[in-house]
Amino acid sequence: MESPNAFLSEISAEDWANTPESVKQLVQRLLERIEALEAGQQALQEQIQRNSKNSSQPPSQDPPKGFKATPKKKSGKARGGQPGHPGHSQELYPPEQCTRIEDHYPEVCCECGHRLRGKDANPQRCQIVDLPPLQPIVLEHRFHALECPQCGVSSRAYDGEIVDGCRYGERLCALVALLSGEYRQSHRMVVRLLSELFEIPISVGSVGRLRQQMSEAIEQPVEAVHRYVQQQPVVGIDETSLPQGNADGNNGKGKRGWLWVMVTPLVCYFQVALSRSQATAQSILGTDFAGIVNSDRYSAYNWLNLQWRQLCWAHLKRDFTKIAERGGVSQTLGEQLLQQQEKLFELWHRVRDGTLARPQWIEAVAPIRQRVKALLEEGAAYPIGTREKTPLAKTVRTCQQLLKVEPALWLFVTTVGVEPTNNAAEQAIRPAVLWRRCSYGSQSEAGSLFVGRMMTVVATLRRQNRHVLDYLTDACYAKRRGLPAPSLLPLPDLQRSS
């Protein structure tokens, strides 16, 4: 877009000299006003064009694309599975797991009507699966009082662990935690589900107490997971907002809560903190962390050594897309950066599927890296004002910031086990985003602890193909009897297979 001051060049020096001073001042003010309005218009236009492809905005917040669906080209193939596609049929339970087996025999031949006898060694099997009536298991303890025939004093049996203990068993406690944790049900919805499915009357307050018991039961295993993750060679990390209220008085200043996640192949660790600062990142990762961190460009990770840090290329693609949408020299620069990004990932996909060896991959990436760096240097060199807020100025500052962390863009090229994106951490934190939407965060520090610990347990057990409800039941059982809680850490054979 042409600068308003360029209009002055169209006026001859003689005409400008003969212009009254008051008119000159008015023209200058008007030109400055036009320039400010155009800059504001460009900023608003960029804000309107903001979406999940050019920013960290989630796809669910993208603007509507219109009511008319984009027509798709017809492939000419029949609907459904294509020839050669592996079929998927319903799996049958083995006979020993069937509650009842009913045999059906034909009485007469369907052709001639002759009566039939005998047995079929390989009958067609068809199963109907249903649920039995769900009723709670109620164990009643009766403490009898007996009168002494010698002195007449009545003595009653007593067991403090039973009388003063929890009315609800370990498996019910685990189910409450699972329903209000992984399945994100509110306290009242848990009450309703237990009443309708199992005919178990329970209060909202009891749901809160059972959640707290489960949180305490898994505290030690979750802390062990934290120590384990801090010792891993490669960790993905990310964070998202998770509001925390002040119901317990521990957030009097109304600080915003943040859920942090650290991801490894077999273990995930979640923690809620009232800060998104560098100090919090150091506390979660550990100040002496010696592994590789895969993350975005958030400033809280700037204390990490760039030689042991991999920046997410999915975020870089959004930055390049945003630059390309600004028009002018920014558009040319952004499109060229996107072309290099596409070349890079075409090669990466070949490395991942085994069709390109790593030595050839490293050699092929070298010119791409040189070209990306040259483009960033070109973008960073455009002259801009110190406080200029034009689209070009934003492009220049983005290029300058990327140049500062340029070594961290390419660690995945030479290091096996490092991914070019931080998608694993973002996928792991996605359930927390859904939880936040339906619960608006937690209301206390204890609630935040429950969120972090439950997400750690569920995500870790899912990665290891372990049963979540059984684990929570065992953890509650151990807590109530003073036994060590079951471990969340992967077994040695799982570690070897990873």
Confidence of residue 366 (pLDDT cuts 50, 70, 90): very high
pLDDT of residue 496: 47
71's tokens: 């027509």
Is the pLDDT assigned to residue 347 strictly greater than 60? yes
Confidence of residue 3 (pLDDT cuts 50, 70, 90): low
Is residue 4 domain-resident? Answer: no
> Do 481 and 402 share a domain, yes or no?
no
Yes or no: say if 263 and 246 are a contact pair by the CB < 8 Å rule.
no
> Do 326 and 288 share a domain, yes or no?
no
pLDDT of residue 497: 44
> Do 318 and 408 share a domain, yes or no?
yes
Mean pLDDT check: name the lowest of 292-301, 391-400, 446-455. Answer: 391-400
Distance CA 33, CA 29 (A): 6
The three-state secondary structure class of 403 is: helix
Distance CA 39, CA 384 (A): 14
> Do 230 and 287 share a domain, yes or no?
yes
Taking residue 52's Cβ as centre, other Cβ atoms within 10 Å add up to 13
Sequence-ordered list of residues with C-beta below 8 angstroms from that of 47, at least 6 positions apart, any chain: none
279's tokens: 């100090």
Taking residue 435's Cβ as centre, other Cβ atoms within 10 Å add up to 22
Distance from chain centroid for Cα 339: 28
Mean pLDDT check: name the lowest of 76-80, 238-242, 365-369, 410-414. Answer: 76-80
Kindly state the helix (H) or strand (E) to which residue 344 belongs, with its residue range.
helix 328-352
According to DSSP H, which parts of 10-169 are helical?
13-18, 21-48, 160-163
Average pLDDT over residues 221-228: 96
What confidence tens digit (pLDDT) does each residue in 118-130 have? 889 899 999 999 8
Q: How many structural domains is the chain composed of?
A: 2
Using the 3D structure, point to which of 394, 414, 434 is the last residue of a domain: 414
Distance from chain centroid for Cα 113: 65
Is the pLDDT assigned to residue 498 strictly greater than 50? no
DSSP letter assigned to residue 270: E
Mean pLDDT check: name the lowest of 58-72, 96-110, 226-240, 303-317. Answer: 58-72
Distance CA 273, CA 255 (A): 10
What confidence tens digit (pLDDT) does each residue in 204-222 have? 999 999 999 999 999 999 9
pLDDT of residue 113: 87
Using the 3D structure, point to which of 370, 396, 414 is the last residue of a domain: 414
Yes or no: say if 407 and 311 are a contact pair by the CB < 8 Å rule.
no
Average pLDDT over residues 290-304: 92
pLDDT of residue 304: 92
Is residue 230 domain-resident? Answer: yes
More confident residue, 20 or 100: 100
> Do 228 and 264 share a domain, yes or no?
yes
The sign one gets for the Cα dihedral 158, 162, 163, 165 is positive
Sequence-ordered list of residues with C-beta below 8 angstroms from that of 481, at least 6 positions apart, any chain: none
Is residue 432 domain-resident? Answer: no
> Do 318 and 367 share a domain, yes or no?
yes
Confidence of residue 196 (pLDDT cuts 50, 70, 90): very high
Beta bridge partners of 154: 147
Is the pLDDT assigned to residue 433 strictly greater than 70? yes
DSSP letter assigned to residue 29: H
> Do 320 and 293 share a domain, yes or no?
no
What confidence tens digit (pLDDT) does each residue in 449-473 have? 999 999 999 999 999 999 999 999 9
CA distances from 321 to 52, 142, 149, 235 (A): 10, 72, 92, 27
Is residue 480 domain-resident? Answer: yes
Is residue 421 domain-resident? Answer: no
Sequence-ordered list of residues with C-beta below 8 angstroms from that of 355, at least 6 positions apart, any chain: none
Beta bridge partners of 311: 295
Beta bridge partners of 235: 293
pLDDT of residue 67: 47
What confidence tens digit (pLDDT) does each residue in 144-182 have? 999 999 898 999 998 888 877 888 999 999 999 999 999
Distance CA 350, CA 327 (A): 33
Is residue 483 domain-resident? Answer: yes
Is residue 93 domain-resident? Answer: no
More confident residue, 126 or 28: 126
> Do 302 and 318 share a domain, yes or no?
no
Q: Which of 59-68, 107-116, 255-264, 435-444 has the highest mean pLDDT?
A: 255-264
> Do 305 and 318 share a domain, yes or no?
no
pLDDT of residue 55: 64
Kindly state the helix (H) or strand (E) to which residue 268 belongs, with its residue range.
strand 268-273
Distance CA 88, CA 68 (A): 34
> Do 276 and 341 share a domain, yes or no?
no
pLDDT of residue 54: 65
Yes or no: say if 218 and 269 are a contact pair by the CB < 8 Å rule.
no
Beta bridge partners of 273: 258
Residue-range definition of the domain harbouring residue 450: 217-309+442-497
Yes or no: say if 461 and 469 are a contact pair by the CB < 8 Å rule.
no
> Do 340 and 371 share a domain, yes or no?
yes
Confidence of residue 62 (pLDDT cuts 50, 70, 90): low
What confidence tens digit (pLDDT) does each residue in 65-120 have? 654 556 677 777 777 777 777 777 778 999 999 999 999 999 999 888 899 888 89
Is residue 396 domain-resident? Answer: yes
Confidence of residue 59 (pLDDT cuts 50, 70, 90): low
> Do 266 and 327 share a domain, yes or no?
no
